[in-house]
Structure 1
Amino acid sequence: MDAEEFYRLLDGLVIDDAEVFNDQLREWEDYYNYHRPHGGLGGQTPYERLKQKTTPQA
């Protein structure tokens, strides 16, 4: 999900409170990085790929 998809997710909702906006953004970032499988990463989430690339292999 890119920035455009994030704004579509808001579905026209106008947020005029920075705290509410930041809460929504944190929820989106959590979903995007930890839960959403990414086709370009072979179905892994960005976090899974990062963990794979930074964990020493035994």
Structure 2
Amino acid sequence: MEKFKVVVWCESCQDDEEGCFGGSAEVIGEAFESWEAAAKAGAQYCGELPYRYRIEQDDPD
């Protein structure tokens, strides 16, 4: 069964080691059972923050 993850980053801080997420991206939460559940978590996490997110298929390895 496919699972999905939410990758979050801050466009303003990309490549800034002292910025959000160390200038990189971070996976939030655990693997989600559906794309919809992952999208809801991403939208909820980012809310009013200046973060962006994308949904990726989780690699079980």
Q: TM-score, normalised by structure 1?
A: 0.36
Look at both structures and tell me which one has the larger radius of gyration over its CA atoms.
1
| Higher RCO structure (Cα 8 Å, ≥6 apart) | 2
Say which structure is richer in helix.
1
* Greater share of strand: 2
